[in-house]
A and B are shown apart, each in its own frame.
Chain A
């Protein structure tokens, strides 16, 4: 049971998610995943086997007392804790997620620390919260010394990547991605909506949402992790085609195609399952992305392309016979 959400209503929810391939030759089974994600001795790792193998670590908290990033340059000091956790999907894709919620206003003075700890994952402004500038500030990135939840997600990722269960031999090359998100309250009576999903440079994605006020931070972070996971899958599989020279004759035995595409088949193709861990109310936020640009459409096209390439390799000798003689 989670505690009832106490305190003032949420005016802003923000977070950042890092997604990367687990640097291990073999995917972790569910028991190893539980061991890997046991960040706290006294709290269980949540494990689920349907519809995908999924393991979620307990939350860890980091205390902060610093200005919030604000697009208009306002300096709003805020105090509280940022909650971070890690998730492993199919023992293969590791995500760390840091998030906080902020009320519309807080006391003018910092309170005793124990009072912040009873509302884990809440960062309270001293005074009023300029929610729109802060939401933009979080998505655009703040100045040095501003609250940066990405650093906290990164610290947890660094800590996990040193775990002795990992042999540091990933089956393929890939790059981690970052997804920053900010959720503002939806107008009263309106449902949740996805306002913007931006593919920025440097493996950075930003997501801007509107959600009803009582939506738990956990569920929004879950939706964003689902978006981050699938965006990372697309990014990574698209990249596997980079550097392969298809149909040029330079790779007659097809070994480079197999070398590049084989690991994607072994480790990634079965992971595509949008909305698998998203609450029904938020799952429909996938719809606009499926409409345009069409995440699943692109994925299906990539999967067909991989299968076609592998099929071509399998019939390689026959194909050579029909090639025109020089």
Chain B
């Protein structure tokens, strides 16, 4: 009823748009054990990342040029780095961030945006992780006609059907025969994965690393909204230093004032291969998350407008480079 004279704003859905780069390039994650291993660990990491980061840039530039309307289009690429302050708190931004930036700089890399992992759980007042968990629509194994216990209750999400629970045989009853789990999208043989989304303890709910990493991917893809408003918006970093407490650091900080937008059509993360199982779980989660349809529609329209190639499926917009390393 768009031609009507009368309008009520609360009656119409609305979705805030976000700026979009072609590629969001992640230069790494920092956990406590990395930090404790000393600056040498970061130095080796960035040295490993450098050639792959350049390759990712070259690929994004080639893709943008191939589809540009006229002449060579510059690919908009932003870089980001994620620091864990959710699972373990270590050191302080004042100590960690300058060292991190110095080591990146030594390798010839620029970190445009710095994010804190806890921002993927709760950003300001917005319970981001909880909202994403509410958007999980489980992939139905064959013969599902709509009645299943949702993942939200169990805290686990699988890429197929679990193996049935085997109970100890009771007297006079035959033991149940073990049946294997089954990946729904298996090609002949299954690679079954069951991932924990969260655990509940006396201090409340703790989101799992793969789940927060999935939220992180959705944030970089510009697909997170809270009641139509964009979440995880970057805040500029002034000229001053960095605070002594992680809580005083904005969850997403723009370090480079000239950076391309944080959110992008596609993401690429360069990580050591110990992250492989985590990122497999991320893919399983992303494949079963229904993102905000308004946000999805905006990104699709923009991509069409500048002829940027955009995979339909959200999980296919995410790519990785895993290098051999700790």
CA gap between A44 and B10 in the complex, in Å = 9
- Within 8 Å by CB of B146, from A2, A120, A152, lies A152
- Chain A residues, CB < 8 A from B140: 63-66, 79
- Within 8 Å by CB of B313, from A81, A112, A148, lies A112
- Chain A residues, CB < 8 A from B132: 42
- Within 8 Å by CB of A3, from B130, B184, B300, B314, lies B300
**Lowest 5 CB-CB distances: which A-B pairs, in order?**
A3-B297, A42-B131, A48-B11, A113-B139, A114-B313
Determine if A110 and B13 form an interchain contact, defined as CB atoms under 8 angstroms apart.
Answer: no
Determine if B287 and A112 form an interchain contact, defined as CB atoms under 8 angstroms apart.
Answer: yes
B177 at the interface (CB under 8 A from A): no
* Also in contact, A62 and B316, with CB within 8 A (given A44-B227, A113-B184, A117-B288): no
- Within 8 Å by CB of A46, from B13, B143, B298, B313, lies B13
CA gap between A148 and B307 in the complex, in Å = 41
- Apart from the given pairs A40-B131, A114-B286, A148-B145, 8 other A-B contacts in the complex at a CB distance below 8 Å: A1-B298, A4-B301, A44-B13, A47-B10, A48-B11, A64-B140, A120-B290, A155-B147
What are 25 A-B contacts defined by CB distance under 8 Å?
A1-B13, A2-B297, A3-B293, A4-B300, A4-B301, A40-B134, A42-B126, A44-B10, A47-B8, A61-B290, A63-B139, A65-B142, A66-B144, A81-B137, A112-B185, A113-B185, A113-B287, A114-B287, A118-B314, A120-B293, A145-B145, A147-B145, A148-B146, A155-B146, A155-B147
Determine if A114 and B146 form an interchain contact, defined as CB atoms under 8 angstroms apart.
Answer: no
Chain B contributes a number of interface residues (CB within 8 A of A) equal to 52
Determine if A65 and B141 form an interchain contact, defined as CB atoms under 8 angstroms apart.
Answer: yes
- Within 8 Å by CB of A146, from B145, B184, B226, lies B145
Determine if B314 and A114 form an interchain contact, defined as CB atoms under 8 angstroms apart.
Answer: yes
- Chain B residues, CB < 8 A from A322: none
CB distance from B293 to the nearest CB of A (A): 5
A291 at the interface (CB under 8 A from B): no
Determine if A115 and B312 form an interchain contact, defined as CB atoms under 8 angstroms apart.
Answer: yes
- Chain B residues, CB < 8 A from A3: 293-294, 296-297, 300
Q: Which of B256-314 contact A (CB under 8 A)?
A: 286-294, 296-298, 300-301, 312-314
- Chain B residues, CB < 8 A from A248: none
Contact with A along B161-189 (1 / 0, CB 8 A): 00000000000000000000000110000
- Chain B residues, CB < 8 A from A61: 137, 290
Determine if B294 and A42 form an interchain contact, defined as CB atoms under 8 angstroms apart.
Answer: no
Contact with A along B214-234 (1 / 0, CB 8 A): 000000000001111000000
CA gap between A4 and B301 in the complex, in Å = 8
Determine if A41 and B127 form an interchain contact, defined as CB atoms under 8 angstroms apart.
Answer: yes
Determine if B287 and A66 form an interchain contact, defined as CB atoms under 8 angstroms apart.
Answer: no
* Also in contact, A1 and B227, with CB within 8 A (given A63-B139, A64-B146, A117-B137): no
CA gap between A152 and B138 in the complex, in Å = 15
Among residues of A, the one whose C-beta sits closest to the C-beta of B288 is: A113
CB distance from B144 to the nearest CB of A (A): 5
Contact with B along A50-79 (1 / 0, CB 8 A): 100010000001111110000000000101
CA gap between A279 and B2 in the complex, in Å = 9
Q: Which of A121-160 contact B (CB under 8 A)?
A: 145-149, 151-152, 155
Contact with B along A95-114 (1 / 0, CB 8 A): 00000000000000010111
